[in-house]
Homo-oligomer: A and B are copies of this chain.
Amino acid sequence: MPWTLPLVPAGTPAGELAAGQDGTTIRRSVLPGGVRVLTETMPGQRSATVGAWVGVGSRDETDGHFGSTHFLEHLLFKGTARRSAMDIAEAFDAVGGEANAATGKEHTCYYARVLDSDLPMAVDVITDMVTSARLDPDELETERGVILEELAMNDDDPTDVVHEEFSAAVLAGHALGRPIGGTPATITAVPRDAVWEHYRWHYRPETLVVAAAGGVDHDALCAQVASALTDGGWDLDPAGVPRARRDVADVVGVGLEGVELTVRRTVEQANVIIGGTGLSATDERRFTLSVLSAVLGGGMSSRLFQEIREKRGLAYSTYSFASGHGGVGTFGLYAGCAPSKVDQVTTLLSDELEKLAHGGITDAELERSVGQLSGGLVLGLEDSGSRMSRLGKSELVYGELLSVEESLERIRAVTSHDVQKLAGELASRPRSTVRVGPFGD
């Protein structure tokens, strides 16, 4: 049964919103202050994953605060008013839990996967980090070095580099085009005051979404979150409401120019991506794009895999990918190949996109890709981590939570005509080409 998340008034006890898949139960509450809590209880699971999502990412950084989002992600683990960095580390290690965080372009998530009996501990530590991080100046300077090493590590991975540069090229001129993790220059330059401001401005009841899946009790979690946030000094105003979704009107004009970019690296392989803008995260055609990308470059039977790897042996890795943000997205075709073959491979990538635009897909390809996406959807939701993530994104990215059955229905509703039409539109957009490799050395 399709359903979308109703906006429950703050403080209203939440009912059961919908049966999840395989007997799971999904519930959503809005606590005082506008704090959102979503849970998916999975019977029989011994683990639980909880995530504190803050609806703020690198896109939201203002001048003078570049790099703050990622810096903050690190600093929340470096100590709070009542816990040292070692206390935080020990809490999760002692129970064999996995705790980590991820910074995105539009949100930041602090999460932990633990045995269900350890969930209250995980919620206690994570809410403490979200409300009461110290941002100690000495710790901050030490962590600056750690982040610079993280950026250096990423920069040493040519596949990372080509994806980062492609996103920057297509979304050039917009905040979404800036690298999520910052750059060595912004991380070196950003002062503590700016990071502190970013924390105070954005880590607030109305931006916070707590999502949990697995062996979790919804009412107990809501009570614990409300109590912990209050203990952490947050004022949970009974009249508070969730922050409105971000205005995405500023993306007008993004991606109107194709870019040709070559990045030199002393490596064995060339990494190449061609593509341009794709679809925004909430575009209804995203299901069509899933089918399109599955046929084009989504598996061993896809066109890119067959034409570039199986028939010609030119690459080990080749695929298509899509990334959706508020108001805009990117769509690209990737391959890693011998530098001497990069022109041939770039032409093949481009040819396959054109063929899809002009020739469409076969009925067999449509059927296979629908089966692929349907099976993958179900297989991808067996663990508590992926279900927690689905809840968080439904709230912050999509503004609706589709049941598995409703997602399957939308996938099954895609036609060959839809795919060809979208391929035609994507192929007609300004095309960028980014290459990373030993060129000109």
Residues of A in contact with B (beta carbons under 8 Å apart): 22, 44-47, 77-78, 85-86, 88-90, 92-99, 113-115, 118, 141-150, 152-153, 155-159, 265-269, 294, 298-302, 305-306, 309-317, 336-338, 367-369, 371-379, 382-383
17 contacts between A and B (CB under 8 A): A77-B300, A78-B310, A89-B300, A90-B368, A93-B298, A94-B368, A96-B373, A96-B375, A96-B377, A114-B379, A142-B310, A142-B312, A146-B316, A149-B315, A152-B269, A153-B269, A265-B266
What would 16 more interface pairs be, CB under 8 Å, given A93-B301, A145-B313, A152-B268?
A88-B300, A89-B305, A90-B301, A93-B368, A93-B369, A93-B372, A94-B367, A95-B372, A96-B373, A96-B374, A99-B300, A114-B375, A145-B312, A146-B316, A156-B157, A156-B158
Do A22 and B44 have beta carbons less than 8 Å apart? yes
CA distance A145 to B315 in the complex (A): 8
Chain B residue contacts of A153, Cβ below 8 A: 159, 268-269, 316-317, 336
Question: Contact: B156 with A267, CB < 8 Å?
Answer: yes
Closest 5 CB pairs of A and B: A96-B375, A145-B313, A89-B300, A266-B266, A142-B313
Least Cβ–Cβ distance between A23 and chain B, in angstroms:
8
Given the interface pairs A22-B46, A152-B338, A382-B46, the reply to whether A92 lies near B300 with Cβ below 8 Å is yes
Which of B85, B96, B299 makes the CB contact (< 8 A) with A376?
B96
Query: Which B residue sits closest to A145, measured CB to CB?
Result: B313
Interface centre among A46, A114, A141, A146 (most CB of B within 10 A): A146
| Chain B residues whose CB sits within 8 angstroms of the CB of A152 once the complex forms | 268-269, 336, 338
A148: B residues at CB distance < 8 A: 338
- Quickly give the copy total for this chain: 2
Partner of A337, one of B113, B149, B306, B315: B149
A149 in contact with B314 (CB, 8 Å): yes
* Shortest beta-carbon distance from A24 to chain B in Å: 11
Q: Are A372 and B96 in contact (CB under 8 A)?
A: yes
A379 to B97, CA, bound (A): 8
Chain B neighbourhood of A95, CB < 8 A: 371-372, 375
Tell me whether A47 and B158 are in contact (CB under 8 A). no
B96 touching A146 by the CB < 8 A rule?
Answer: no
Chain B's closest residue to A78 (CB) is: B310
Question: Could you tell me if B150 and A89 are in contact, using CB atoms closer than 8 angstroms?
Answer: no
Contacts of A302 in B (CB 8 A): 93
Contacts of A315 in B (CB 8 A): 146, 149
Most chain B beta-carbon neighbours within 10 Å: one of A93, A159, A337: A93
Task: Give Cα A94–Cα B375 distance, bound, in whole angstroms.
Answer: 8
CB distance from A245 to the nearest CB of B (A): 31
- B115/A378 in contact, CB under 8 A: yes
Residues of chain B within 8 A (CB-CB) of A369 are: 93
Knowing A46-B382, A379-B98, say if A149 contacts B316 (CB, 8 Å).
Answer: yes
Q: Are A311 and B94 in contact (CB under 8 A)?
A: no
User: Could you say which of B47, B146, B300 contacts A379, with CB atoms under 8 Å apart?
Assistant: B47
Q: Closest residue to A86 on the B side, CB-wise? A: B301
Instruction: Tell me if A311 and B96 are in contact (CB < 8 A).
Output: no
Q: Is the pair A142, B311 in contact by a Cβ cutoff of 8 Å? A: yes
Q: A165 CB to closest chain B CB, in angstroms?
A: 16
Closest to A302 in B: B93
Which B residue sits closest to A336, measured CB to CB? B153
Complex Cα gap A323–B369 (Å): 39
Is B22 in contact with A268, judged by CB distance below 8 angstroms?
Answer: no
Contacts of A382 in B (CB 8 A): 45-47, 383
Tell me the complex Cα distance, A369–B90, Å.
10
Whole-angstrom distance between the Cβ of A369 and the nearest chain B Cβ: 8
Cα-based distance from A377 to B115 in the complex (angstroms)? 11
Contact status A115-B379, CB under 8 Å: yes
A143 touches B313 (CB 8 A): yes
Q: Contacting A301 at CB < 8 Å: which of B22, B89, B143, B378? A: B89
Q: Which residues of B contact A316 (CB under 8 A)?
A: 146-147, 149-150, 153
